[in-house]
A and B are shown apart, each in its own frame.
Chain A
Amino acid sequence: MPRFTVDLIRNHAMKRLWTRLSRKQILFYILGLLCLCLAITFTSHDAFLYKKPLAEVIKIKTVKTKQIDANHSKDALFSQKITAKMKNGKYKGQLIHLTNQYSQSGAYDQKYGEGNTLFVSIESHGHHKLGGTITGAKRDKPIVIIVGLFLFVLLAIGKRQGLYSIISLFINIVLLLVALNLFLDFQQSSLLLVGMGAVVLFTVISLLLVSGRQEKTYVAIIATLISTFVALLIAYAALKLTDSNGLHFESMQFVLIPPQEVFMAQILIGSLGAVMDLAITLTSSVYELYEKSETLSRKALMRSGREIGGDVMGAMTNILFFAYISGTIPIILLYLKNGYPLIDTFSLNLSLELVRALAGSIGIVLTIPITLYLSMLFIFRKEKRT
C-alpha cells in the first residue's frame, strides 16, 4: 500500500471516527445493523409464509457425468444427488430426495450447496421417503441483505439526501406499479398515454423531493417535461421516417403487448431520470450564480449555464449508455459462443438498447438550452417587474 494511503486512512478515518461520531449516530448504526441482522435471520425461518413446498439441502453427492467439447467451448456436466429436509407444508420435517443437473457455465442451470433452500414439487411419497423435482431457489435472503445494505449505506453516507433518494425510489416504483395496474385494467388505454401521465407525476414528486418548493424547482419541472416530450417526439419521428429500419423488435424481452408501444414508453421513462438530473443541476447553478452577482447580464449567465451544461452532458449520456448496454452482455455472449456472426449478433441484440440510449441522450442535450431559456425567462421577468 502506498504511503499516502496509509497516512490518509490513519489521519482521517481513525481520528474523525471517534471525535465526530455523536451518541445519536452510534445508536443509529447499531440499531441499523441490528435490524439488518434480524431481517436476515427472519428470512432463514420464513418458510411458513410460503404455500409452495420448500426444502433445505442437508446432504449432497456430486458426480461429473460428461465432458463437452464442441464449438471450441469446453464445458462439463455434473449431476447432484440431494437429500433435503422439508421446511413447510404437511410433510414438514421429512426428508426428500432430489436430483439436479448442472453445467460448469451455469447459463440455465444451477449448482446447489448444503444449506441452500429450494422450491420443490413433490412427486412421489413412499414410506418415509419423498421424491420430487427442484423448481427453483429461494432468493429472499440475498434480496433482504442487499436492500438492507442499500438502505444502510445511503442513510449513513447521504443522511437526509440519502433518505430522499430512497423515498423517491420507493414512490416512483409504487407510482409505476399503480400506472401499470391502471393500464392493465383498462385494456383500451394506451401504455404510452399511461406512461406520459406517470412521467408528469414522477417529475413533480422527484424534483420537489430533491430540491423543495422553490422557483428553480418549478423551472426544472417545466424544463424536464418539455425536454422529455420533445425527445420522445424526435424518436417517434425518426422511427416513422426510417420505418423502424435497423430496429429489431424481435429481440425485446418479456413481450405481452405490442412492442412498439412498450418501446416508446421505455424511451420516455428511461431518459427521465437523466433529464431531471440535468435540469435541476442547471437551474440550481444558474440561480446560484445570479444570486451571487445580480449584475450579471443575461448573456453572461447564459454562457456560464452552457459551460456547465457542456461539462456534464458527456457524463450523463455515458450513464445511460452503460446502464442500457450492460444488460445485453449475457445474451450476446450466448449468441457468439453458438457461432453467430459478430455483426448480426450485435445489431440484433443491441439495436433497441442503442436507440433508447441515443433517444435519451438527445433528451439530455436538449435539456440544456430549454432549461437555460426557461431560467432566463423566469429570472429576468422578475427583474423587470421590480
Chain B
Amino acid sequence: MNIIMLLAAILFVLMSSIGGKKGITSFLALFLNFGVIFFNIILMKDLKSIITITLIACLLISLINLFYINRLNHKTLSTFISVVITLAILISFIFIIEHQAMIQGFGEEEEDEISGFSLYVGIDFGKVAICTIIMGTIGAIIDISLSIASSMNELFVHSPLMSKKSLFQSGVKIGKDILGTTTNTLYFAFIGGYLTLIIWFKKLSYSFGDIINSKVFSSEVISILSGGIGVAIIIPITAWITTFILFRNKSESHSDLQS
C-alpha cells in the first residue's frame, strides 16, 4: 500500500470524526487546493506570465478556503479583500528583494539534483522564486485574516454600539494575540524542511560569510521572513476592512429601516 494513501485515509477518518461535516469539507478543500497548485504548475510550464497565473491561483485558493468552507458573509468578504490587498503589497516588495538578492533558480549546493537536466528551459526563474514565496505564505495569510474577521464580527454582534475606533482597535488586538502562534507555525514548517541544509552547512564547515551569501540560505531566509511580514501587515489591513464593511452594513440596514 502506498504511504500517501494510507496517511490520507487516516487523516480523513480523523478529520471527519472530530470535525464532523466541517472536517469533511476541510479535507476536500485540501484536495481542491492541491488541484489548484497542480494546475498552476502546469500552466507555469507553458505560459509566459507566471506571476499573473500564480496570483489567480492564490485568489482561487482564497475563494475555496473562504467561500467553500465558510460561505459568503461579511467575515469572508472582508478576509478576501484583505488577502488581495496584502498580496499586492507583498508581491511588489518580494519583487524588489528577489531582484536584489539574486535568489532565483538553484544554488551550487543543489548541483547534484539538477545535473543531467537541460537548464536552459525558457522559464524566468526569478519570477518562479517570487511565485514560490507567495505560495508558501498564502495559507498563513488567509488563516490569520479569517480569524481576525470572524472574531471582530462576533464582537460586533454582541456589542453593536461599539465605535468604529474601538472596533478597529479590538481587531488589531485580536490579530496581535494570534500573531505569535501563526508566525510560529510558519517558522517551524520552514525550519523543519531545512534541517538537512543546516546539517550540510555544519558538516562542510561553511563560514558565517559563506552561509549568509549562499543562494540557498538567502532564499530560505527571505521566504520565512516574507511570510512573517505578510502575516503581520494583514492584521491592520483586515481590521480596517472589517470595520468598514461592518459599519457600512450597519448604516445600510439603518436606512432600510427608516425608509
Chain A residues at the B interface, C-beta cutoff of 8 Å: 4, 7-8, 12, 16, 49-52, 68, 70-71, 73-75, 77, 103-110, 119, 136-143, 145-147, 149-150, 153-154, 157-162, 164-165, 168-169, 172-173, 176-177, 180-181, 184, 202, 206, 209-210, 234-235, 238-239, 241-242, 244-247, 251-257, 262, 265-274, 276-277, 280-281, 306, 309-327, 329-338, 342, 346, 351, 354-356, 358-362, 365-366, 368-369
Q: Does B244 contact A (CB under 8 A)?
A: yes
Q: A136-B213, A146-B221, A241-B1 are in contact. Are A332 and B105 (CB under 8 A)?
A: no
The answer to whether residues A4 and B248 also contact, given A246-B3, A330-B129 and a CB cut-off of 8 A, is yes
Q: Do the beta carbons of B215 and A139 come within 8 Å of each other? A: yes
Contacts of B51 in A (CB 8 A): none
Across the interface, B120 reaches (CB within 8 A) one of A7, A73, A146, A277, namely A73
Indicate whether A8 sits within 8 Å of B2 (C-beta atoms), given known contacts A158-B176, A315-B142: no
What are the residues of chain A within 8 A of B184 when measuring CB–CB? 165, 168-169, 206, 210, 273, 276-277
Q: Which residue of A lies closest to B150 (CB)?
A: A311
By the criterion CB–CB under 8 Å, are A269 and B200 in contact?
no
Q: Fill in one digit per residue for B1-18: 1 if any A CB lies within 8 Å of its CB, else 0.
A: 111111110110011001
Q: List 12 A-B contacts (CB under 8 A).
A: A74-B122, A105-B105, A107-B105, A107-B119, A146-B97, A154-B228, A172-B188, A269-B191, A276-B185, A314-B30, A319-B140, A361-B30
Cα–Cα, bound, A209→B184 (Å)? 12
- Given known A106-B126, A238-B6, A242-B1, contact A209–B136 (CB-CB < 8 A): no
Task: Knowing A157-B233, A256-B200, A326-B132, say if A358 contacts B168 (CB, 8 Å).
Answer: no
**CB distance B191 to A105 under 8 Å?**
no
The residues of B that contact A141 with a CB separation of less than 8 Å are 100
Q: Is the CB of A105 within 8 A of B125?
A: yes
Q: How far is the CA of A68 from the CA of B123 in the complex (A)?
A: 13
- Given A244-B3, A254-B199, A333-B128, residue A49 in contact with residue B209 (CB < 8 A): yes
* Docked CA distance A251–B45 (Å): 20
How near does chain A come to B214, taking the closest CB pair, in angstroms? 7
Any A CB within 8 A of the CB of B87 = no
Least Cβ–Cβ distance between A262 and chain B, in angstroms: 6
Cross-interface CB contact of A315 among B146, B176, B199, B236, cutoff 8 Å:
B146
Q: Give every chain A residue within 8 A of B200 (Cβ-Cβ).
A: 254, 256
For A157, the chain B residues whose CB sits under 8 A away are: 172, 175-176, 179, 232-233, 235-236
Is the CB of B183 closer than 8 A to any CB of chain A?
Answer: yes
Those 7 A-B pairs whose CB atoms lie nearest each other, nearest first: A270-B192, A273-B188, A314-B26, A73-B122, A142-B101, A337-B121, A322-B139
* A318 with B198, Cβ < 8 A, contacts A108-B119, A141-B100 known: no
CA distance A138 to B137 in the complex (A): 26
Knowing A242-B2, A270-B193, A365-B18 touch, does A336 contact B97 (C-beta < 8 A)?
no
A270 and B119 contact, CB distance less than 8 A: no
Separation of A8 and B168 alpha carbons in the complex (Å): 12
**For A153, A252, A253, A269, which residue has the most chain B Cβ atoms within 10 angstroms?**
A253
Contact of A108 among B34, B106, B196, B218 (CB under 8 A): B106
Task: Give Cα A1 to B69, complex, Å.
Answer: 29
Q: Is the CB of B125 within 8 A of A330?
A: yes
Complex interface: chain A residues within 8 A of B248 (CB)? 4
B123: chain A residues at CB < 8 Å are 73, 105, 107, 333, 337
Question: Would A358 and B176 count as touching, CB distance under 8 A?
Answer: no
Is the Cβ of B225 less than 8 Å from the Cβ of A150? yes
- Rounded to whole Å, the gap between the CB of B48 and the closest CB of chain A is 10
Name the contact of A165 in the complex, choosing from B2, B109, B180, B199 (C-beta under 8 A).
Answer: B180
Instruction: Determine if A366 and B14 form an interchain contact, defined as CB atoms under 8 angstroms apart.
Output: yes
| A315-B180 in contact given A157-B232, A267-B192, A321-B30 (Cβ < 8 Å) | no
Residues of B with C-beta under 8 A to A324: 189, 193
- Chain B, interface residues (CB within 8 Å), range: 35 or more
- How close is A151's CB to chain B, nearest CB, in angstroms? 9
Instruction: Contact check, B11 vs A362: say whether CB atoms are below 8 A apart.
Output: yes
> Do the beta carbons of A365 and B193 come within 8 Å of each other?
no
- Please pick, from A4, A139, A180, the residue contacting B198 in the complex, using a CB distance under 8 A: A180
Residue of B nearest to A147 (CB): B225
A321 to B34, CA, bound (A): 8
* Residues of chain B contacted by A362 (CB below 8 angstroms): 7, 10-11, 14
Is the CB–CB distance between B106 and A330 below 8 Å?
Answer: yes
CB of B121 within 8 A of CB of A75, answer: yes
Q: How far is the CB of A44 from chain B (nearest CB, A)?
A: 12
B117 touches A323 (CB 8 A): no
Q: Give CA–CA (A209, B119) in the complex, Å.
A: 46
CB nearest to A7 among chain B residues: B244
A273:B41 contact, CB within 8 angstroms: no
User: Does B256 sit within 8 A of A, measured CB to CB?
Assistant: no
Given known pairs A71-B118, A254-B197, A318-B139, the reply for A164 and B180 (CB within 8 Å) is yes
A65 to chain B, nearest CB (A): 12
Picked from A7, A16, A119, A337, the residue with its CB within 8 Å of the CB of B122 is: A337
Q: Are A315 and B65 in contact (CB under 8 A)?
A: yes
Most chain B CB within a 10 A radius of its CB, from A8, A266, A268, A319: A319
Tell me which residues across on chain B come within 8 A of A281, comparing CB atoms: 178, 181
A334 pairs with B117, CB closer than 8 A: yes
Is B160 close to A, CB under 8 A? no
A320 with B125: CB separation less than 8 A: no
A328 to chain B, nearest CB (A): 9
The answer for the CA separation of A313 and B26 in the assembled complex, in Å, is 8
B135 → A minimal CB distance (Å): 4
CA distance A316 to B97 in the complex (A): 28
A169 CB, min distance to chain B CBs, angstroms:
5
